[in-house]
Structure 1
């Protein structure tokens, strides 16, 4: 009895094993009695990830930007689950687990040393990965040196001017130019090529001057180049810089040239009116700051619209005003209207019901306005305002308006009718998802519409909404119609010619104009094609098909 009690007392006095001792004992027992590794877990994880990626690759229901997001989420989740399996559920020896974790860390470190994200995504939302030693695109391509115009510079005839975004009327259509179809026999002639600052701006051309916007370092610039030589004639500077991961840095809008003036809207909302000959500042308005409006997520992208003595721009990312108008001669405010947020589309002037109207795509609505005072004549609630709307409305004969957007929204054809009482009624003629134009513009010929549907060229019958054909993977680029041809600036950089024919798709010519992501719209002023991206600009003289279509060149002395 006494012996038993003493044994119990000794047992009480023995110290409890520490956590490390218990783990060591557990490890020794585990190593002496090995358990089967749970290999089925990573097999299931990899199988599910592979099935998801295969589905995303071949699915026709999802747009490319949604696919890119889901691919990223699939790979990230699979990586996380594999790490959790390795550390906590694999039953591998702890030494093996730590070796595996170390190898993973080594691979991540190697990636960060050898490669980097470019800082932007493509039109499908996929991240751009480049080698780390490639120079970063910060817009520092050197200081611009202005040169006075030469005494015998070449100037285009006035009829060949391309003075605004998508041309004179923002329709992206040039009827009076007939391009040579065979570029193998009659190749385009490169006139000049040079580095350029960051921007998704296009060129606006009037006579001998081609004006665009750039970001060079901390300077946001409006720059005038000599059309046929590429020399900088003048540059206007604002010391601002807009930066955003997905869309990149710098301005997005295209200048508008009107009666010897340049109207340019910067990425942060600064509206400048400049003398087209010298670049002298006539007036300037900080449109967002003055009206207490926040900027859009991807910056101000809409180009200024000039109507008679007014210049019209869009608002900010708040519920109104959606449109702002200023007097052209001095920049004083004229009117401000609308209760919706602004979109990335540009206001457009057209004729509906026999009267001029400004049609504007907003974040959640489309509105028609009386140009003189901005009064809203009609309003169409269109999809959700959670997704960006960038494409231009297409104004058609018969008071019809075609709308298209990406992110699953699709397209709709509206009929606008004015009643005797002055009220306007809207009817959806048809609505489908056969055209999902994320930010590419659309063009029309003989009742058929052409454009890039999630990066693939499509022809639609406007009467029915029926798709006639879908072919040509050109990415999220831009399209012009030049008589019977489609001139497509592809997202990867090349320019292609495609027949504007509803019966078939046929690419007839290709030109390796640029070699990097290109979201900028091309500009065709007579026979001069000017295109650019956020790295370089180039000007070509395109071969014209008939002598009567050639643009007269004049010598200015």
Structure 2
């Protein structure tokens, strides 16, 4: 029988713990999907990686249940979601050793044809709390220290969202689960409830779970929302099932809506907000840049460019200098200019799986360098700033991987394998 919460009680060596906590704080955490800013970029004070060991040292490796959720790192702990005994489970692991501090049940698992019955949404940590969202649309807040449940909401019960699974022509999250990780910032939590009954997006108080606003009538896609500023207005930008939508971050008012439809609403890419533009796209729409003008309260949206070569499937690109680097439609790396969308270079041969199943997890480093974790478990350091892609280092670090890695204090935290017999791993990239 799986317990709801299990806490590991141990005697701590105070000096060692304080040293690790200080190192983590200095280097910065990776507390959310795609890092602290949701852009694939580590904390500003993360040591710059200039070379990659040919065989990075494995600091620790522990067994993991099935899952697609990526790990996060906050306050000396790694938070990871996996399936155990038919439940979606959140685990808190000591970042230094991999030892389990606690684990808690989030929800029942969900089964479809797309993979194992397991979590698909990356948790998010903030100010001593960690938030976990299940495929079925249950969002729970836990105390990061001991796993105590602090509050929980259910999108179907509390906001009249619909979740049916693979039935008929169901679209987006109602078909394959709520995958888009919520965003927490400055006393606000925004989540894609996906209700067509006036709660496409919701804003909650992260301390109490109470509703601050609900807005829109959009079914959720699979993308995580991005919070940023466009034309001086702080807003939540999300790639929903039928459109890209901008919500006023404080009121929930729908500021603008750009219709985008694809088969079964397979919208996965987290939007990027760059220079008052929104960059987003899918395998069918292409990667596009949206620009905005205002006429009083009315927002006007138009496409600046659209790149079919850089069309993302379910991998999210990164910004490197004045360029965007991601995985294109033909499983090759594609580098395009932010301003014009023109291809600067392509790199083939790094991703070997079929194009419709290809994935790469990207991390933007200092200058024009970046890391890529391929779906076959190769970690590649490269420079994206020239007329062609320049490889700087390569190492085989794990097996099959569709999850983004987390970089903190020179260590890479990742998932090895998606189904049973997988592992959570920590690698030292500094030696």
Question: Where on the TM-score scale, by shorter chain, does this alignment land: which range?
Answer: 0.7 to 0.9
State the match for 1:468 in structure 2: 344
Relative to structure 1, is the Cα distance of residues 263 and 332 closer, same or farther in structure 2, using a 3 angstrom cutoff? Answer: same
Match of 1:412 among 288, 298, 318: 288
State the match for 2:50 in structure 1: 180
Deviation at 1:313?
1.1
With structure 1 as the length reference, what TM-score do the two structures score? 0.68
Relative to structure 1, is the Cα distance of residues 510 and 149 closer, same or farther in structure 2, using a 3 angstrom cutoff? Answer: farther
Distance 1:224 1:308 in 2: 24
Distance 1:445 1:238 in 2: 36
What is the aligned length?
397
Q: SS of 1:519's equivalent? A: coil
Deviation at 1:437?
0.7
Q: Which runs of 5+ in 2 are unaligned?
A: 164-173, 352-357
Deviation at 1:491?
0.8
Q: SS of 2:81's equivalent? A: strand
Distance 2:6 2:384 in 1: 40
Q: Any conservation in 2 of the 1:369–1:376 contact (CA below 8 Å)? A: yes
Relative to structure 1, is the Cα distance of residues 261 and 344 closer, same or farther in structure 2, using a 3 angstrom cutoff? Answer: same
Deviation at 1:144?
7.6
Q: Deviations over 1:136-176 (max 9, x none)?
A: xxxx9xx9873547333322125511111111110112354
Distance 1:214 1:282 in 2: 21
State the match for 2:278 in structure 1: 401
Deviation at 1:235?
0.7
Deviation at 1:265?
0.7
The answer as to 2:140 corresponding to 1:272 is yes
State the match for 1:514 in structure 2: 398
Match of 2:75 among 186, 202, 207: 207
State the match for 2:385 in structure 1: 501
Distance 1:215 1:319 in 2: 31
Distance 2:8 2:111 in 1: 26
Distance 1:145 1:306 in 2: 25
The answer as to 2:393 corresponding to 1:531 is no
Distance 1:148 1:521 in 2: 31
With structure 2 as the length reference, what TM-score do the two structures score? 0.87
Distance 2:156 2:199 in 1: 10
Distance 1:198 1:320 in 2: 34
Distance 2:194 2:229 in 1: 26
Q: SS of 1:335's equivalent? A: strand
Distance 1:339 1:403 in 2: 20
Q: Any conservation in 2 of the 1:305–1:313 contact (CA below 8 Å)? A: yes
State the match for 2:166 in structure 1: none
Q: Structure 1 residues 317-326 or 493-502, which shifts more?
A: 317-326
Superposition pairs of residues 287-306 of structure 1, within 5 angstroms: 287-295=155-163, 296-306=174-184
Q: SS of 1:173's equivalent? A: coil
Distance 2:29 2:361 in 1: 19
State the match for 1:543 in structure 2: 430
The answer as to 2:332 corresponding to 1:456 is yes
Match of 2:30 among 162, 174, 185: 162
Q: Which has the higher strand share?
A: 2
Match of 2:85 among 173, 194, 217: 217
State the match for 1:364 in structure 2: 242
Deviation at 1:188?
2.5
Relative to structure 1, is the Cα distance of residues 383 and 499 closer, same or farther in structure 2, using a 3 angstrom cutoff? Answer: same
Q: Any conservation in 2 of the 1:361–1:389 contact (CA below 8 Å)? A: yes
Report the structure number with the largest CA radius of gyration.
1
Q: Deviations over 1:389-442 (max 9, x none)?
A: 001111101x11111211x321211112233x2322212111231211111111
Q: Deviations over 1:498-520 (max 9, x none)?
A: 2122411122222222112x111
Q: Which has the higher helix share?
A: 1
Q: Any conservation in 2 of the 1:283–1:331 contact (CA below 8 Å)? A: yes
Q: Any conservation in 1 of the 2:81–2:123 contact (CA below 8 Å)? A: yes
Match of 1:423 among 288, 298, 306: 298
Query: Root-mean-square deviation (CA), in Å?
Result: 2.1
Q: Which runs of 5+ in 1 are unaligned?
A: 1-139, 545-557
State the match for 2:151 in structure 1: 283
Q: SS of 1:363's equivalent? A: coil
Q: Any conservation in 2 of the 1:367–1:379 contact (CA below 8 Å)? A: yes
Q: Any conservation in 2 of the 1:253–1:266 contact (CA below 8 Å)? A: yes
Distance 1:357 1:363 in 2: 19
Q: SS of 1:498's equivalent? A: strand
Q: Deviations over 1:431-488 (max 9, x none)?
A: 2312111111111122111001133211011222111222133231211111132211
Distance 1:537 1:431 in 2: 37
Deviation at 1:291?
2.4
Distance 2:138 2:126 in 1: 18
